Structure 1
């Protein structure tokens, strides 16, 4: 029995699932080879294999964007766990850039981009810690007062009620 992929018409917003992540690419694979491998499943809008600027080679993954979401689903059904250039491919829907940190992704943000949010969160955590310490001190004082009250004042109250 063949398994099929359910295609989401729209996720968050109106983003149809047309872009695929293709992982496990062998070093010799280029965009033309990837395009040729995925072309049988439908009209391809774009093929992209990110290059590692330090080494000048790709990092073992790429993206294939189809015109139609049904074509993307067919490509996942047929190419996930398929062998390509001697390597087993992992083919899934690509994650939207919103999840990865905005339009350009986290790597395009300066290191200090989240500083304000971090300082606010740190201040809130410190405030919560101080509040919890005060609560523990208050509970300790109440427990000590209750223990002191039971030792001296509780017995006469019981005797007075019994008489």
Structure 2
């Protein structure tokens, strides 16, 4: 393994954890408080903006590092014909789903917040953020399976 490979793997894991952690925090920490009316629209909008920024930066870094790792450690035959390859392809699909969920739910939440409402938009988007949290956790589980070498 080269230094570039080690840096790529490390960056990939760190940004994946930060991304998923941010989504879970929004889902479990911010939105329930907003849904109950304990937060004003402005702080929720700021948190949503931060989440979307973290999401976009993480998505780009994960795309770059994941592409490097796939090219370094897998052939096309490995990706399409082995359990680990299938997990890598599943991660790519879940990565796309997570990005989409965050963008759509974040936009919907901000639209409601800009109308100076907080309870209704938080309630309406909480399910979408929960789905994003589940997808994020699945991504981390797959990453754990791949890094453990449990499937070859």
**Same structural fold, with TM-score higher than 0.5 when normalized by the shorter chain:** no
TM-score class, shorter: under 0.3
Larger Rg: 1
Please give the TM-score of this superposition, normalised by the length of structure 1. Answer: 0.23
Please give the TM-score of this superposition, normalised by the length of structure 2. Answer: 0.24
Identify, as 1 or 2, the structure richer in strand.
1
Identify, as 1 or 2, the structure richer in helix.
2
